[in-house]
Amino acid sequence: MPDRTPILAANWKMHKTIEETERFLAESLPRVADSGPEVVICPPFPSLKAAVERCAQSRIRVAAQNMHEEPEGAFTGEVSAPMLIELGVDGVILGHSERRQHFGETDEALARKVPAALDAGLEPILCVGENESQRDSDETEGILTRQIEADLAGVPDERLGEVVIAYEPIWAIGTGRTATPEQAQEAIALIRGLVESRSAEQAGAIRVLYGGSVKPDNAEELISQPDVDGALVGGASLDPEGFAAIVAAAA
């Protein structure tokens, strides 16, 4: 089995000004800088530059929370991959359920965003996941299959391993209701199997994270599942101590 370095990514959503970002990193960098897992901080757009500058001398990487698929154009309010690259950003979250739910993010757009990010040199963190009624009516497998097939359609087989996928069941996001380690493992193994149907080699390399109410006290059990390669952490990543505890759990 290939060695996959775990990733712990902090999705701050619409939290933390530049000043708060600097304060968090001043406290957090000494705690997580020498850890084994890769650590990625995902602040809001205005705080990206400060985060890039603060993390420059460390192993911590910085990702944005969204981008447009075109490099430039008449798309008011949007930000492109080359603009993120110019800031020194390393990656970008794409297809978060909050963007799908509140901002009309579609699989069609994601099919263009994921390869656009890769081509620009950004590591995409693609989020997929079912909602509560879909899980209750046994549609999880169908939903994940549809999202993975559609969202990765534009990525060449030999580059699939460069994408990071986050399995985030919508019913577990911000609810305090975490998926059980078995549910996370089952869904993530399914996702890896979908990648395997395109390339066995890339399926062994691709990192698939779990996200949804990850906390210091449940992180270790979730991340120790054989197919779970880390976590995308929302609420619990806002506190330097809590986030450091989650990173430590994955080490």
In this chain, which of 7, 8, 10, 11 binds ligand PGA, going by CB under 6 A? 11
| Closest chain position to ligand PGA (CB) | 234
Q: Which of 96, 98, 105, 123 is catalytic?
A: 96
In the bound state with ligand PGA, the residue whose beta carbon lies nearer, of 84 and 127, is: 127
CA 170, chain centre distance (Å): 14
Residues 163-202 that bind ligand PGA (CB under 6 A): 168, 173-174
Q: Is 96 a catalytic residue?
A: yes
- Whether 15 sits among the annotated catalytic residues: the reply is no
Asked if residue 152 binds ligand PGA (CB under 6 A), the reply is: no
Q: Is 213 in the site for ligand PGA (CB under 6 A)?
A: yes
Q: Quick one: 11 or 183, whose CB is closer to ligand PGA? A: 11
228 contacts ligand PGA (rule: CB under 6 A): no
Q: Minimum Å distance from CB 237 to ligand PGA? A: 7
- Which residues of the chain form contacts with ligand PGA (CB under 6 A)? 11, 168, 173-174, 211-214, 232-236
Residues acting as catalytic residues: 96, 168
